[in-house]
Each structure stands twice: as C-alpha cells, then as structure tokens.
C-alpha cells in the first residue's frame, strides 16, 4: 500500500497578531477605497435585471406569514395583528426577520394579498428603521436584506404605485451606500464576504453608473481569495457556510454571464473549488454531514446546487486545507474531521470533534455526530460542541479542545479560543482491498500526556468498515493510568435500531430498509447507551450510541468493525454425477 503525502497542520494562534495588523491596515487604507462614497450619489430608479434564486419558497410558509406567524431560526412567533419588527424573540430570530429572506415564501403564495402584505412590511421597516435593534444594521444582515429586495423586485413592484417605488429605490440606494462605506473598515469575516456579494448584485441590477461592477467585483475577488481555501472549503471549516455561499455565488455568476460581462476569474475559480467540497461533505441522502455547527442538513439547497452543477463529478477524497477526508466504496461513505480549529474570528461554530467520523450506506446514515441544535438553545449548543458529542475518542470525558468563550474573549480575540490541539496529521492510501485513512492529533497531550491515533479502512465493496484507535505519547508516559479512562463513541442515527448481544460482544444494527450490520470490538468494554440527535430537529431526538471504554495506556490498541450482514443464498441441490467435487472451507 502506498500512502499519499500526509497533511501536517500547525495551530493558527500564531497568526492572530498578523491578522490584527492586517485588519488595522485595511481599516486605514479603506478610507481611500470606499465604493459609492458620495452621499449625494444618484438614487437608483429602476431594476435592470433580477437575480435568480436557487432556493424556492414555500407557499405554506407564506400563508403562515400572511396570518402573522413567523417561523424563523427555529422559533415560531405569533405576531397576530402586530408588526413583527417590534417583537423581541431572540437575536437569531431578529436577524433572520430583518434579513427578509422570508420574502420567497410570500412570493411562492402567488396571492395579491400576500404581495400587498410584503409591500406593507417593507414600507413599515423603512419608515421605522431607526427604532429597530442593532442587528438590523449589521453588515451581513443589511447585505442579505438588499439581495432579497433585489431578488423579489418583480413581485414587489408589480402595480405598486409611485409612492412605494420611491420608498423602495431610496432605501436600496441607502443600503448600497451603507455597505460601501462600512465594508472596508469591517474585519475580514463572513460579513465582509456577504457585503461584497450584495454590492456585486447591486452593481448589476441597479443603474449605479459606470465602473460600479468593476469595483464591486474587485472587492468580491479579494474576499474569495482570502476566505475560500485551495480545496474549496471556507476558513471557518463550517460545511454549511460553503453551501450558503454557493447559493449566492452561482446565481451571481449566471447574472454576470447574462449581462455579457466577463466573469471575474476569482469567482470562477472559487466556484470550481467549492463544488467538489460540497460533494465531499455530503452523505448519500443529499444532506450535509454534521460537523462544526451543522444544525440543518440543507438538503434542498444541496439539491439545487447539484442541479446547477453541469460537471457532476466525483467527490474529493481529501480536503487538506479544510481538514476533511472521505472514504467511498460501493454505496458506503465515511466522512472524517481531521482538521485543527480555525482562528477565533471564524470559530463561533467550531466543535471539538477531531478525528470524529460519520458513516452511511446509500440514503441511510448509520454513525453520526450529535450535530448542533436548530433552535437557539445555549445549553444544547454548549454540549454539542464537546468531544463526547462526536463519534471519536475522548479521555476522562474531556474535550480535545477546551473552548474559551465569552464577551471579553470575543472582543479581544475576535471569537472563541480553542485551546488544546496544535498538531493534526492525516494520510490517505488505496490498495486492491480498500481505502485507508490514518490520522492523529495532540489535543490530549498537555492535559493527559497522550496522543490519539485513528486508522479507518473501508473495503472496496463498502460492506466492511474497520477501525483502530490507540493512544501514544512520550516515553515517560505510564504504561497504564488508573486515573485516565477512554471512551470511544459511535453515535447512531435515530432511524437505526440497535440491539446488544446477550454476551455483550457485539451489536446488531437494523436500518430502515431492513438491511443489517454487525458491530464488534476488542480491547475495550462494549456497551449500548442513550444519545441525542439534533440535526433538523425542533427538539433533541433520542437515539443510541455504542460506547467502548477502558483505561488509557500508552500503546493500547482498540479494534472495532462494522460489517454488513449478507443473506446467504440456499445452495441448489447437487446433481448426481459420477465424480464428486471436493468441499471448500
């Protein structure tokens, strides 16, 4: 077996000072690079073209909004006869409300009353905008709101009247100037990226004058080059961010092509890199694997992206810079997190799941991580980020990354600090029998004196997944420590039924299609325990987890395997022959 060159990652904390200096330089130089800086710039008077949208609205959701029910960010609020912008239902709910993405649902209803309601809500927002919470003026919220208003312009402006048109275009002009003035001073994060996308849409859709699209495309190209890694992942390592960005960048590229303008090379390159990344981090059911803040599988968005993709290529096997790997064979796939936490600015949703994996066969997920809560729940969000909430090994139920979060830390460092792992290595290899993944990290070296190593092997037919976990460390580490225990968890999807054998040596797994898998292990105690699954669930759903436990020792090895149970065909009755064939073992 030959192994591909390994990935060696060093912890990014040493880049914080450089990042801070870079931000300061951008803040100063931004004064000379403002877009549309003249406050007397002409107000747009027409929408030249309308952006497309990959995601389609829901008529049922639009009818609920018409009745005053706003189901946003996992929180359903009944506004009744009140206007929703004055309600306080949590910051996530308010951010989504003021982003106006729900206009797609009102438009999906196709009702004149819903069209009139959409105009009323926008008019109320514009008239009373000074009384809204600070999140309404956040850079990313403003960018999403402007894109939504441009995207649904035909729906909003049809038979609208001069009064609404004047209000609509004056507010759009104010949005453009706000984004252009604030973007150069903002830290380089997702808000800057979304502002650059919104300004690019505005330059194409509105009559903003000559050269507007060139300046906007230049800003967008800089954000793509800085935030999209060479393998197509985002610097935050959040799979959901890649999907969300493609939902905006793909229609933008189509709109530029429609306008007979050269598509920026950075945009073309970014999309070309991101598409294989999406295929890498998706299961056979078309949804995202639950790593690093994934609370929704985003299956509709991914289907829309795949329909847009004309290449339909194979998933990448190893995203070296993003820190993900994939073993695929037959209908089976194992997706592995093998990357270090991002720098604090992009670590708001980062989990301590190093060397965790998810395993699926076809459309059925078998081994999963707990994921992130869809509803804003600080308690579940905190627990979901810990290592025991992932299908990997933990020592003394501690996390491989200790997450330091809080208002003071966020102000000083720009986001949560992940303290612990400094080195992550992984290698992928192939042979005639299957594919091998080798990985290791030092997240427990300082606290427990041990390094976690994991090897996974997936057979070429996809019916056999074997694993090997062991703990290594410096030579002075004790051979066995009664104070350090390990637990290797395999969280099961709620649709999987699991039964432990009477002697406790194996676990039988039954999938929804009635196919079966058998789990066995040696080198640890085997147990079946309770777990929860948070992805795409309004409340945590009960599930099960397989747990291998014991005392950690340097060099101690734990072997385990998932093997598909194949039904043996009943042999046909032998024909009478004069010559007997030898029996095969």
Tens-digit pLDDT profile for residues 516-553? 999 999 999 999 999 999 999 888 999 999 999 999 98
149-174 pLDDT per residue, tens: 999 999 999 989 999 999 999 999 99
Position 513 pLDDT exceeds 80: yes
pLDDT at 208: 82
Position 111 pLDDT exceeds 50: yes
Q: Average pLDDT of 103-117?
A: 93
Helices 190-205 and 212-227: crossing angle in degrees, nearest 10, is: 150
CA distances to 340, 470, 500, 513, 531 from 528, rounded to whole Å, are 30, 21, 7, 22, 10
Q: Average pLDDT of 506-524?
A: 97
Position 570 pLDDT exceeds 90: no
Structure tokens at 250: 């793909």
Give whichever of 320-324, 481-485, 577-581 has the largest mean pLDDT: 320-324
Q: Chain-centre distance of CA 282, in angstroms?
A: 10
Position 9 pLDDT exceeds 50: no
pTM of this prediction? Answer: 0.89
How many percent of the chain have pLDDT more than 70? Answer: 88
pLDDT at 504: 93
**Average pLDDT of the residues of the chain:** 88
406-458 pLDDT per residue, tens: 888 888 888 899 998 999 999 999 888 999 999 999 999 999 999 999 999 99
280-332 pLDDT per residue, tens: 999 999 999 999 999 999 999 999 998 887 666 778 899 999 999 999 999 99
**CA–CA separation, 148 and 93 (whole Å):** 17
**CA–CA separation, 108 and 427 (whole Å):** 48
Q: Average pLDDT of 90-103?
A: 93
198-223 pLDDT per residue, tens: 999 999 999 887 778 999 999 999 99
Residue with tokens 């926008």: 122
pLDDT at 439: 97
DSSP 539: S
pLDDT at 311: 66
Contacts of 176 (CB under 8 A, 6+ apart): 36, 44, 146, 199, 202, 206, 208
Look at residue 75 and give its three-state secondary structure. Answer: strand
220-263 pLDDT per residue, tens: 999 999 999 999 999 999 999 999 999 999 999 999 999 999 99
């Amino acid at each position: 077996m030959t192994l591909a060159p390994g990935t060696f990652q060093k912890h990014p904390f040493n880049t914080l000072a450089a990042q801070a200096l870079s931000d300061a330089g951008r803040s100063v130089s931004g004064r000379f690079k403002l877009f549309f800086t003249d406050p007397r710039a002409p107000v747009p008077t027409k929408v030249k073209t309308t952006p497309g949208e990959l995601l389609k609205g829901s008529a049922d959701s639009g009818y609920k909004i018409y009745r005053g029910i706003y189901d946003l960010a996992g929180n359903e609020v009944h506004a009744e006869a009140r206007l929703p912008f004055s309600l306080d239902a949590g910051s996530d709910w308010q951010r989504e409300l003021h982003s106006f993405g729900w206009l797609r649902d009102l438009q999906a209803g196709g009702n004149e009353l819903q069209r009139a309601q959409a105009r009323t809500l926008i008019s109320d927002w514009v008239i009373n905008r000074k009384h809204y919470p600070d999140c309404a003026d956040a850079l990313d919220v403003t960018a999403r709101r402007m894109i939504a208003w441009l995207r649904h312009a035909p729906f909003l402006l049809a038979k609208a009247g001069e009064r609404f048109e004047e209000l609509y275009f004056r507010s759009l002009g104010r949005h453009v100037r706000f984004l252009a003035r604030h973007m150069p001073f903002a830290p380089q994060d997702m808000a800057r990226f979304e502002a650059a996308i919104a300004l690019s849409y505005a330059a194409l859709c509105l009559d903003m004058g000559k050269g507007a699209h060139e300046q906007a495309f230049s800003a967008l190209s800089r954000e793509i080059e800085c935030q999209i890694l060479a393998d197509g992942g985002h610097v935050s390592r959040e799979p959901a961010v890649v999907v969300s960005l493609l939902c905006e960048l793909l229609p933008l590229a189509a709109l530029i092509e429609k306008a007979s303008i050269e598509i920026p090379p950075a945009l073309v390159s970014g999309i070309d890199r991101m598409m294989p990344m999406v295929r890498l981090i998706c299961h056979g059911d078309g949804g995202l694997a639950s790593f690093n803040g994934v609370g929704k599988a985003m299956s509709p968005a991914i289907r829309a992206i795949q329909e847009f993709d004309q290449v339909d290529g194979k998933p990448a096997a190893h995203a070296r810079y993003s820190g993900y790997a994939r073993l695929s064979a037959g209908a089976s796939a194992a997706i592995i997190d093998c990357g270090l936490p991002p720098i604090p600015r992009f670590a708001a949703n980062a989990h301590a799941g190093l060397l965790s994996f998810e395993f699926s066969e076809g459309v059925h997920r078998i081994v999963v991580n707990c994921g992130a809560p869809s509803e804003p729940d600080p308690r579940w969000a905190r627990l979901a980020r810990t290592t025991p909430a992932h299908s990997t090994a933990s020592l003394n139920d501690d996390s491989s990354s200790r997450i330091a979060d809080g208002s003071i830390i966020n102000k000083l460092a720009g986001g949560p600090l992940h303290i612990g792992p400094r080195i992550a290595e992984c290698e992928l290899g192939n042979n005639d029998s299957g594919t091998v993944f080798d990985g290791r990290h030092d997240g427990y070296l300082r606290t427990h004196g041990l390094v976690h190593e994991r090897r996974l092997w997936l057979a070429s037919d996809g019916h056999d997944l074997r694993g090997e976990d062991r703990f290594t460390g410096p030579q002075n580490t004790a051979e066995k420590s009664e104070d350090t225990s390990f637990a290797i968890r395999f969280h099961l999807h709620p649709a999987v039924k699991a039964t432990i054998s009477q002697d406790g040596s194996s676990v039988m797994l039954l999938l929804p299609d009635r196919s079966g898998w058998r789990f066995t292990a040696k080198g640890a105690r085997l147990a079946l325990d309770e777990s929860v699954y948070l992805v795409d669930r309004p409340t945590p759903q009960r599930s099960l987890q397989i747990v291998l436990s014991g005392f950690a020792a340097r060099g101690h090895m734990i072997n385990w395997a998932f093997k598909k149970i194949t039904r043996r065909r009943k042999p046909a009755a032998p024909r009478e022959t004069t010559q007997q064939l030898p029996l095969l073992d």
